Chain A
Amino acid sequence: MLRMILLIVALAAGCTTAALPSVLPFDAVTQTSSSFSHPRRSLPWSYGGVSYVGVDILHRQSRMSIDFQIPPDTVLFTLQSCSRDITVVRPKAGAFRWDYTPFLFLESQDPCYVEATAYLSNGGQVSGMFDVSNTFQLGATLYCNGDRTKPSGGAWCQVRAGRLLWLSFAEEVVEAHAEGCPAPTPSRQLGHTFEIASAAGRCEYGFRSRSGENFRLTVWGWDSILDLGRLK
């Protein structure tokens, strides 16, 4: 009787071991080289009772509590600003509060982008990005990805690379943009309005009124709906 039981146990163990693959599928995935394109930023986060997805610009405060929504199966969560790199190993899924106190001068000059990335166990990534600014001055109307908003002083626009966006002002402005970014073209239909063709990646644009008020536009043109990371 005991011999029979032992035989069944031994057979079951032998079959199971044989059934296990010698190389896990994940190992094959990790051997592919990663190339970081320009993924759509889709990490949800909130600040001051307002929910955001992916990107935005915030009014700088001396202390800012930002809640990131960490997806399930996140193995590593990172926060990078222009002066810091924070890593959290195996964070709990759900809300993760980060109390951000921008360093005076070091992180309080424009720009100091903060990028949050959740690295998932399947090799994919979910990220978000924001900037803080205290130069909110000039008002504008932004036509971005189907939304019309009226930001003041600065705005983010996340749109698929190659799509058009409009930025309209109530008065005449001058424009300057980062090297390598598509130049805004004045609209033929509307006065004081610029049409911008988004490029892949991040592009920054500056606008200045006669009275010296500024508006800063950051465009994130994505060319990949998902950040597949190592799964590419």
Chain B
Amino acid sequence: MNPQIMLMLLRLALVVVPWILKRLDQPSKAREAEDNLKSAMRDHQEKQGEGSIQNREAHKKIEDDLKDKAKEKWK
């Protein structure tokens, strides 16, 4: 084969192959992003969080204890 044609084909391949790679990678990246989001949502669903309203009961007990102790100490 003519070396000039070979060189032209090689140059063409250098352009075409990265383009194909990029195109092929797009669906997998989209799928990965979707998976990441689903996992994050699942994590968030599992995590009760510290903002729980149940903290109020513990806080109320501390306040009651403080009042009792203060009354006892400085009666």
| Chain A residues within 8 Å of B, Cβ to Cβ | 1, 4-5, 8-9, 12-13, 16-17, 20, 24, 26-27, 30, 34, 36, 75-76, 78, 80-83, 85, 87, 89-90, 109-115, 117, 119, 121, 123, 125, 129, 174-179, 202, 204-208, 210, 212, 214, 229-230
Instruction: List residues of B (7-35) whose CB comes within 8 Å of A's CBs.
Output: 9, 12-13, 16-17, 20-21, 24, 28, 31-33, 35
What are 10 A-B pairs at a CB distance below 8 A? Answer: A26-B36, A34-B43, A75-B37, A76-B40, A80-B49, A123-B36, A204-B55, A205-B62, A207-B66, A230-B43
When the two chains form their complex, are residues A174 and B43 in contact, meaning their CB atoms are under 8 A apart? no
| A66 CA / B75 CA spacing, docked (Å) | 44
Chain B residues in 8 Å Cβ range of A1: 5
Instruction: Knowing A80-B51, A129-B50, say if A208 contacts B70 (CB, 8 Å).
Output: yes
B contact residues around A85 at 8 Å (CB):
49
Q: Please judge, given known A-B contacts A16-B24, A76-B41, whether A175 and B55 are in contact too, CB under 8 Å.
A: no
* B58 partner residues in chain A, CB cutoff 8 A: 178-179, 204
The 3 closest A-B pairs by CB, nearest first: A119-B40, A176-B65, A76-B40
Q: In the assembled complex, how far is the CB of residue B60 from the closest CB belonging to chain A, in whole angstroms?
A: 9
Extra contacts, 5 of them, besides A13-B20, A119-B40 (Cβ < 8 A), are A1-B5, A34-B43, A175-B69, A204-B55, A208-B70
